[in-house]
Amino acid sequence: MALVFATAGHDQAALLTGVCEQVPADIVSGCSAEGVIGAWGSDEGSHAVGVMMVASDEMKFQCLLAPNVGAAPRAAAAGLAAQLKGRLNPHGVLLLFPDGLTTDCTELLAGLRDQLPPGVTVVGGTAGELLVFEKTYQYRGREAASDAVAAVWVEGAIADVAVSHGCDLVGLERTITRAREAMVYEIDGQPAWQFFRDYLNAEVDHLDAMTVAHLCLAERLPAGLDADYGSCIIRVPLRLDANTGALFFPGGLREGTRVQMALRNPVRVVERAMHSARQVALRHPGEKPSLVLQFDCAGRGRLLFGEQANEACVTPMQKAMGSDVPWLGLHTYGEIAPVGAQCFFHNHTVALCALYPRRPAAAS
């Protein structure tokens, strides 16, 4: 497998052409990113790129791509499953890279639950760009698609995934009173955009990076899923319909959902991220992962930590997992990871995925 993450300053097609001059096109997957993360740390420059080559006797890989994920997320899920005909099994891992600006990821994950055998681990992050919220790219071979979902099917691996956020709840619970297909029109009977403008106390008329970084809603999780993660999942809007004041939430918020405002807490972000990394390492004493993938929100890099993002969070997590572990990641427009036994779409989180070879059980 050749996994590629790159920021959107690159000519995306030319970049993939260059990669495919070095490796077979059918092993290439990945997506565009707000920033790229590697052993060197986090790079949120306009022309950053990371490529991880994986060759393994135990693990096998298949790169996938499904189009039109915005209009038909469940059909896209079925399209991914159809490409895996004959290979689906409960022990597989699906690395998922949907378009971060068009996909109702809750619907996409619901579609995958219908298509995949129970037991498959689904983890990943949505494609991003340079915080202008215009267009993202999903890769397979030489193709840099948009409004698509790229994926890699992995066999012969055990995925240990840990996900955390560092947000504090504020204010009273509210209700989504009008919503349709991931567009939220009203919160407590008030236009969604007006609700947020009042909360921010700012005369803003469009979504920009700093506005998005502070627009957090917390949706309560079903009881009993995972006490270690917390009781709520974070939702952030990434698109504004200026004509209606509706906001697009890639996590999908349905009518009647109870939500609460949330604020990022930099101290808790670091504490919870370090806890996640340590927990993965503790579950595998004396064992080194084949690789670690880091899916980290674009709002948790330099927007939160300035130029200290590496020192504050990235490097300490890498040390907790082992400084010599192959490491690649991206700053996403949303993260995909399980909480307990169910996979969710997240915002303002970090999801760590450590892959360990799945070795045959010893004979009795």
Per DSSP, the residues of 265-303 read -HHHHHHHHHHHHHHHHHTSTT---SEEEEEEEGGGSHH
305 or 128, which is more confident: 128
- What mean pLDDT is predicted for residues 84-94? 93
- What mean pLDDT is predicted for residues 280-297? 94
Which positions ≥6 away from 82 have C-beta within 8 Å? Answer: none
Percent of the chain with pLDDT over 90: 73
d(CA 227, CA 164): 12
Give the neighbor-by-neighbor strand order of the sheet with 93-98. Answer: 60-67, 148-155, 93-98, 121-125, 335-339, 342-346
In a 10 Å sphere around its CB, with 0-12 CB exposed, 13-18 middle and 19+ buried, how is residue 143 labelled?
middle
Q: Quick one: CA dihedral 267, 270, 274, 275, positive or negative?
A: positive
pTM: 0.94
pLDDT, position 364: 46
In a 10 Å sphere around its CB, with 0-12 CB exposed, 13-18 middle and 19+ buried, how is residue 324 labelled?
exposed
Helices (H), the chain: 12-20, 73-83, 105-115, 192-200, 209-214, 266-282, 302-305, 309, 315-321
Question: Confidence class of residue 205 from pLDDT cuts 50, 70 and 90?
Answer: confident
Residue 100: Cβ within 10 Å count: 25
pLDDT, position 272: 93
Q: Locate 313 and state its tokens.
A: 């969070």
Is 146's pLDDT higher than 90?
yes
Tens digits of residue pLDDT in 237-266: 988 998 999 999 999 899 999 999 888 888
